[in-house]
Structures are given as C-alpha cells and as structure tokens.
Amino acid sequence: MSARTPKSGPPAARPDRSTEPDARDYTEDQPILDTLEQALDSRLGTGRAGSGRCFVPRSVEELSTFVATADEFGGKVTAGPPRPGLLAVDLAALAGVAEHRNGRPGNSGRHQGVDPISQLVTIDYGVTPAALDAILEGQGLELPALWFSDPNAPIGRAVACGEGGPLVAGLEAVLPDGAVFHTPLAPRRASGPSPEVFFLGRRHRFGFLTAITLRVRERQPVSWFRREDVATDLLDLARLRLLAATRDRGVALLRGAGDRASLYVAIVAGDAVEGFVPAAAPTLPPANGTRGSWSTLRESFRRADDVTLTAVGPFDRHGGFMRGPSVGAQSIDLDAIAARLDPRGTFAFAGDAAGGVP
Amino acid sequence: MRRGTPERYAYAADLWPKNQLWKMQGEPARYAPDAVVQPGTEAEIIAICAAVAERSVPLIPYGAGSGVCGGTVPIRGGVIMDVRRLRNIGPIDPLDMTVTVDAGVIGMHLEETLAERGYTLGHFPSSILCSTVGGWVAARSAGQFSSKYGKIEDMVVGVRVVLPDGRVVETHESQPHDLTALYVGSEGTLGTIVSATLRVHPAPETQVFRGFRFRTLDDAVRGIRLLMQSGKEPCLVRLYDPVDTLLHRSKDPAASFKDSTESPSFLHGLLDSALGRGAKKAGIALALGNPSLLNRLANTVAAECLLIVGFEGATSVVDRDAPAAWRLLEDAGGVDGGEGPGRQWLEKRYAVSFKQSAIYAAGAFVDTLEVGCTWSRLLPVYHAVRAALAPHALIMAHMSHAYREGCSIYFTFAAHRRDPKALERHYDRVIEEALTAVIREGGSIAHHHGVGLAKRDHMAREHGAGLRLLYAAKDALDPFALMNPGKVLPDRAVTQ
C-alpha cells in the first residue's frame, strides 16, 4: 500500500475538526511517524490494523482513530473482509446497546440505550435482530417483525444496505476524517435536510455507520393469518389494507410465484380476518432488492418468480413501497458530494460492489 | 423581471419577526433584492439559473413569503424568483395514490382541488391560505393533522429540482440513489424545487373532536403519549400548558377555548383579558414590563390543561378508534369536555399572524418557537425553556404534532422594551437562551418552521460533525454558493 508521510507526528488526542476539515494540530513533542503502519501500531496497538488485516474496534473511539489515521496517511478503508491494499474493519465487533457517552442527555452525545418512554433503542452496528429482541423482551418491548431479512445478521449492515429505513430514528457514524457524528434525536425535524440520507442504504460511502436508534413498540401477542390467491389481487388487497387505518402489526407478501402468492397479515387482537386462515409467522426469504411504487410492484409480480413486500405496517404509515436493500448504485450527485466530504478518497472503497458490507 | 422599488420592498421580508423589528428602527427593507423574476415554466427557471450564474448573482427561490425564519430574506441582494406562476396540479394516480403538484400552488387551492376529486393530502398548516407546496417541501412543513398524515417529508414521494447549473433532476424514493431527503428541507440552498409528487389519501368520511381537561401537564403528556403509542391514529393532538389554558379560559369563562396562540390576537387576547380593550397599547408595556412577575402570577393562577384530540377518516375506523381513545384519555386522568373546544379550534385554525404590527407598534414583540423532542425529553425541554425565558418574556406553550416516539412543543413568548434597538437585542437574547436550553436538554431546534436565518447559527450545535455532510452537499451542488446564500448553513468562519 502506498502511504503518504505527514510533515510531523500526530496529536495525542484528536482535535475537534468537525467544522474545520483541513486543520491539523501537530505538536512538536509527538513522535514522528513515517508510515501508515507505524501510525496505526502507535495509536491502536501493534499489529491490530494494517493492509491485509481486519481491524476489530473495541469502541467507536478506536474506530474513529483508525479512520482518522487512514485519512491522515492516505490509507483506504473498507467495511469488509481483508483485501490487499485496503484497511479492513469489522464493524460487527461493535455490538452493544449504547449508553450515554458523555453522561448528558443532550443531542450532542450518543443517545440513550433503551428508552422505554419514547419506545426507542440505540444499538451498536453489530447487534442482530434476534439479540435485540432478547434485550427488548425484558423491557416489555419488541422490534417489529419482518423489517430485517436476516434475524442473525447485524442490523447496522442491514440499514447500510437499505433495510429498515422507517424504523430508523437516529444514527451515529464515523466520517472520513474520523469525526464522530450523531443525528439529532427528535421524532421529526426541520433543521435542514436529514443527514440520514447519506447513510441509509449508502453502504458506508459517506462514513461508517456505527450505531442506530430504532423505533420499537410495546410487546403484544399477535396472530398471523394467511391468504393464497392471485398475486396481483393480493397486492391490491395489501394496498387497500394499508391505505385504510389498520392496526395490523405487519403485512407481507411472500413467495409470489408466477401469478400466485401468499399474503400474510398479523393482528394484535387475534380476531379472525375475513378470507384469511390462521398461519404460522412467516419468515422472509433473502431480500431481493426490488423497490418501487404499487404500480411497479404490480409489474414485478407479473414478471417475477419470487417477490417479497416486507413489513409495511404501523411504522410505515403510508406504505406502498417495497423496502429492499439498495444495490449500491451511484449517481453523479452522490459521487460529487462524497468527493467533497472525502477529498482524499479514504472511503472510496468502503461500500463498493467488490468490497461489500460486512 | 421587475426592478421597481415596490417589488423590491415587497419581496424584502417574510414573516420573520426580525423584519418587523427592523421596520421599527426605520428600515422597512433592510435587505432588498436587486430584482424579482416570476418564471412561468421550468425552461424559464433554467434560463434564469444560467443568467445569474453567468453574473455570479445570488438567486433566492420564493413561494408565498409566509416563512417565519427569514428563509427568503435576500441578505446578499440578488434575484428573488417567485415561483407562484408554476401552479399546475396533475392527475391523481389512483393506484399509487399520488399527485404531482407544481411548487407555486397555494396550499388551500391544492386541498380544494383534491377534495373535488375525493382525496386529501392531509396537510393543513395554519398558513395554508398563504403558503405554497414548494415552500412546504423546502422548509419541511407540518400540518395540524400531522399525527395522522405525517409531516411533508412523509408525504413527498419525489421532487423535481432545477440545480444551479441548470440540470434538472427528478428524484423518487424508489430509486436506489434517491436524494429526495436531501432536497426536502434545503430551503432553496441547493436548487429550485419546481414540483413535488405527494401521497394522497381518500377524503375523510367523518371527523370527530373532543376536549379533555387534565389536572397537571405531566398527566396530560402521559395521556397523549399513551394514545400515540396505542396504535390509534388521531389526526389532531393539541395540549395547552396551564398558562395557555388559563388565557383561553379567562377570555371565555364558559371554557370555550379558542386557539389564538398562532394568531395575531395572542397578545391582544392577553390584554383584553387583563386590561380590557381600551388600554391595549399602553397595557402592553405594563403587562410585559415585568415578565418574571407576570410569569409567576400566571403560574400561580393557572391550574389545569386543555387537550383537544380529533379523529378523521373512514367512518368504520373512526367509530372504532375514537371511543377507545376517549376511554384511554379518561383512564389517564382526563375529564371529558365535549366537542366544543375542538369545534371552536376548527373555526380559527387558519388565523395566522397577518396583523402583528399593532403589537410591534406598542414596542413589543411576539414570536413562536417550535422544537421537537422525544417523549423522555419533552418535559425537561419544556421546563428548561420556560425557566430560561421566564426572566425575559411572558411565555406559554402547547404540545402538538404528536408521534409514537415524541412530540413538538410550540412556545409562544412576548416581551417589551421602550427602545427599538434594545427590543431587537432583547429578542436575540431570548431566542439564544431558548435554543440553548433546547439543545442542552436534548431537543431539536426546529420541528416545522425551518432554519432560514433565525436558527442558522445554532445548526452547528444541532448537527455537530454532521454539518460537514450538508456543507459537502452544498459545495457539490452549488459550488459558487449562489442559491439562497446565508441560509440554513452557518458561515464556515462562524463555525470555526
């Protein structure tokens, strides 16, 4: 890996460069580090990070140092398995339920772990839906079903790939220069555009997603019902149910094959649903990434062998759009913004198709 | 293009109170545009973008000028582009339940058109008579029924935007590289929104309202939280704090609560209550001359809180959910006050602040501040802001725009100073102290009024390092910083 040599050594603690992207606070009494590998060894411990290895952060602060060092010395980071010439990081190693970082409730710090009053939970990247549900059970809360296709995969990865968007109330990320960023936590805001737009489904193009605040809800027993019919008819039925104010816990169209499909609904009260039969809770097939309006979904059903409409329900009041993972597509404007945010290209490979998302 | 003095003065100000404070100091148009243009087509907008870029002239997209944060004040001159000639309302897509609407369409015109077709957007800001679809999207507006239909960002499926370089982009939330959320809330700083595709809903079959009285604000907040987390979807949730409730009751001993906190009658109502109509102007100074005393007095006398809740939609759904909601609220300590308060609120729902001048002429200001909080931070933010402002201004609040995870607090405050310059300094101090308290206690500085100039310098504390993402977007899309300069994002020198 080629590496730039900085003019002098790094600071002992990183300065706040959140609003001063090109500033450096070098001090003369620091050791001079000539290479990226030296700097990583010095700051993170010998042998923990480097080209061809996968750095396992113990905290967001360590991840911040890792990214900042890469940025300073011209390294390129990737959220994936070790790859030649790239600094890989295992984000799934961050797998706790977040606590206030600075002991203050303000929006400037990390958000509360489980907030049962607001029905929110802030988790690290690597927490899985199954693990989170076990944590929430003790609080009388639950993660809504069917929002994440793999119950044993990191929620952070799913969010970075485009799943669970309407559940996300806030997030934390490490930006390309190592700065740690938290979205303000409020049910809705009007303080400019939502910075979340740079992380949901963006596959770490603008920074490493490290924590997510999710909307959860009171734990209540639900009953599942199923109906099998012509796919497009079921799609219309799902659409109408969602347009009406229902208290369904979730609606899923599963395994549409040819012109047939099964529609599942979950009802809190357990009342029978006309035209449906009791059923076991469905599991999701691997998300297929299709997204679209109702009209495009109908076309998809006509053409596809296996289409899934996942988890539209109370948190997605307006429904109507398939929530699948993004396909990592780029656009001129996204690339231009990323280039401004990350002028050294530290994250140029963080979320590309080859690097994937761990 | 118009360059005359009347047009330049007419477009110099929106409804931001600072404009009034400047007028009191003899400056009716502290920041006037150099010209005003009124394009009628997207092609004309593209041509205007090319013309201003060639001359490095600022360009400020303009809807109806009803903003209250200075979002269209041309602080660096330039050209104001009034988009109200863009007023097409497209056909409704009955399958996707969407409609594409030009940016210049006035809100009430859209809602009336949809109603004729059997639909509603569900977006009813108090400014609906004097605000545009483009302005709603640009500033992340909220309507009075947001608890059911969401804010405008929940309604926008996609936008069509003319970028500063003349490119036209059309976003849609189903696109993998969708940037709709970047343009929503950008307040004209990234481009000019020319149309938006919005979700619509079947027109409601029925509508019911009910008032409840609670002994304490804590009980009432708990009640609306439980309601919102129950899965029912009220369209309207408005909880008045004890002082706001007292003001209304004093105006109407029969407890015909009227919503005047968003209206010019707020201070007039206060003075009518305290002094009678004859002494209004002189009474403003008296009433607001000692806000600490007035706040203490109000807090001592004030006792209960009024909550107004409404449901609308399909009759079968409303018949199912509303009675259950009433029971839930009674279980939480609410006393049913019947339909009257809600119906009376409905009659005054669009009485916005067109006639503030009488208040300002008396040497006072009145303003509002809407902040967003999670439920766990709602009361801490409320008490912190009240404590911060109590020495400086008469303050009251209501909670509205309730969601599962939190709610907005809408503060109303008023103060008086004899000298106009001192009044402006006092106004700045009040805003600063209020927003500092909001951020310290974990709220967001804006729920639906936007940022503009009013909250721009608090954005660094709101977003921290995240501000750099927004700077990157600004630099990429508007590299010469010609689009509505000085708005939303603080000057980088200030943040450093």
User: What span, in angstroms and rounded, lies between the C-alpha atoms of A294 and B266?
Assistant: 46
What pLDDT does A33 receive?
Answer: 60
Nearest chain A Cα to B449, which residue?
Answer: A190
Residue with token string 């007039």: B268
Taking CB atoms and an 8 Å cutoff, what residues of chain A touch B146?
A: 188
Q: Which of residues 367-406 of B touch A (CB under 8 A)?
A: 370-377, 380, 401, 403-406
The answer to whether the CB atoms of A320 and B96 lie below 8 A apart is yes
What pLDDT does B246 receive?
Answer: 85
Flag whether pLDDT at A317 surpasses 50: no
Among the listed residues B198, B230, B201, the one whose alpha carbon sits nearest the alpha carbon of residue B314: B201
Give the β-pairing of A77-78 and A87-89.
parallel
Residues 6+ apart with CB under 8 A from B372: A186, A187, A188, A189, B401, B406, B407, B408, B443, B444, B446, B447
Least trusted range by pLDDT, from A323-332, B41-50, B136-145, B402-411: A323-332
Least trusted range by pLDDT, from A7-11, A126-130, A242-246, B468-472: A7-11
Q: Nearest by CB to A186, from B176, B443, B455: name it.
A: B443
What pLDDT does B361 receive?
Answer: 79
Using the Cβ of A103 and the Cβ atoms of chain B, whether some distance falls under 8 Å is answered with no
Using the Cβ of B448 and the Cβ atoms of chain A, whether some distance falls under 8 Å is answered with yes
What does chain A come to in residues? 358
Q: Which of residues 69-88 of A touch B (CB under 8 A)?
A: none
Taking CB atoms and an 8 Å cutoff, what residues of chain B touch A201?
A: 176
Mean pLDDT of B257-265: 40
Taking CB atoms and an 8 Å cutoff, what residues of chain A touch B96?
A: 293-295, 320
Q: Nearest CA of chain A to the CA of B155: how many Å?
A: 8
Tokens of B172: 């849609």
The answer to whether the CB atoms of B445 and A180 lie below 8 A apart is no
Q: Nearest CA of chain A to the CA of B119: how many Å?
A: 12
Mean pLDDT, chain B, rounded, equals 90
Among the listed residues B299, B346, B308, the one whose alpha carbon sits nearest the alpha carbon of residue B214: B308
Mean pLDDT of B7-16: 94
User: What span, in angstroms and rounded, lies between the C-alpha atoms of A161 and A172?
Assistant: 16
Q: Nearest CA of chain A to the CA of B200: how many Å?
A: 9
Using the Cβ of B444 and the Cβ atoms of chain A, whether some distance falls under 8 Å is answered with yes
Confidence class for position B334, pLDDT limits 50, 70, 90: very high
What does chain B come to in residues? 496
Residues 6+ apart with CB under 8 A from B348: B258, B259, B260, B263
Percent of chain B with pLDDT over 70: 91
Sequence letter at residue A106? G
**Positive or negative torsion for Cα A243, A244, A249, A250:** negative
Q: How far apart are the first and last CA of chain B?
A: 39
Q: Containing H/E element for A123?
A: strand A120-124
Q: Nearest by CB to A195, from B157, B441, B469: name it.
A: B469
Least trusted range by pLDDT, from A269-278, A330-339, B189-198, B301-310: A269-278
More confident residue, B33 or B256: B33
Confidence class for position A329, pLDDT limits 50, 70, 90: very low
What pLDDT does A252 receive?
Answer: 66
More confident residue, A109 or A156: A156
- Cβ contacts below 8 Å, chain A against chain B, sum to 250
Tokens of B484: 């509505």
Query: What distances in angstroms separate CA A132 from CA A152, A167, A199, one per listed residue?
Result: 10, 14, 21
The answer to whether the CB atoms of B473 and A298 lie below 8 A apart is no
pLDDT tens across A64-101, in order? 999 999 999 999 999 878 888 899 999 999 987 755 44
Nearest chain B Cα to A121, which residue?
Answer: B405
pLDDT tens across A262-298, in order? 888 877 765 667 788 888 887 765 554 445 677 776 7
**Positive or negative torsion for Cα B276, B280, B283, B288:** positive
As a dihedral over the C-alpha atoms of residue B140, residue B146, residue B149, residue B152, rounded to 10 degrees, the angle is -10
Alpha helices per DSSP H over chain A: 36-44, 60-73, 129-137, 155-160, 231-243, 294-303, 332-341
Among the listed residues B489, B415, B414, the one whose alpha carbon sits nearest the alpha carbon of residue B450: B489
Percent of chain A with pLDDT over 70: 65
Bridge partners for B158 per DSSP = B197
Tokens of B22: 């400047």
pLDDT tens across B135-178, in order? 999 999 999 999 999 999 999 989 999 999 999 999 988 777 78
Tokens of A263: 């529609």
What pLDDT does A274 receive?
Answer: 78
Angle between helices B17-24 and B420-440 (to 10 degrees): 160
Flag whether pLDDT at A305 surpasses 60: no
Tokens of B169: 């982009």
More confident residue, A149 or B47: B47
Q: Which of residues 213-252 of A touch B (CB under 8 A)?
A: 215, 217-218, 239, 243-245, 247
User: What span, in angstroms and rounded, lies between the C-alpha atoms of B411 and B301?
Assistant: 19
Counting beta carbons within 10 angstroms of the beta carbon of residue A150, is it exposed (0 to 12), middle (13 to 18) or buried (19 or more)?
middle
Mean pLDDT, chain A, rounded, equals 76
Mean pLDDT of A128-141: 92
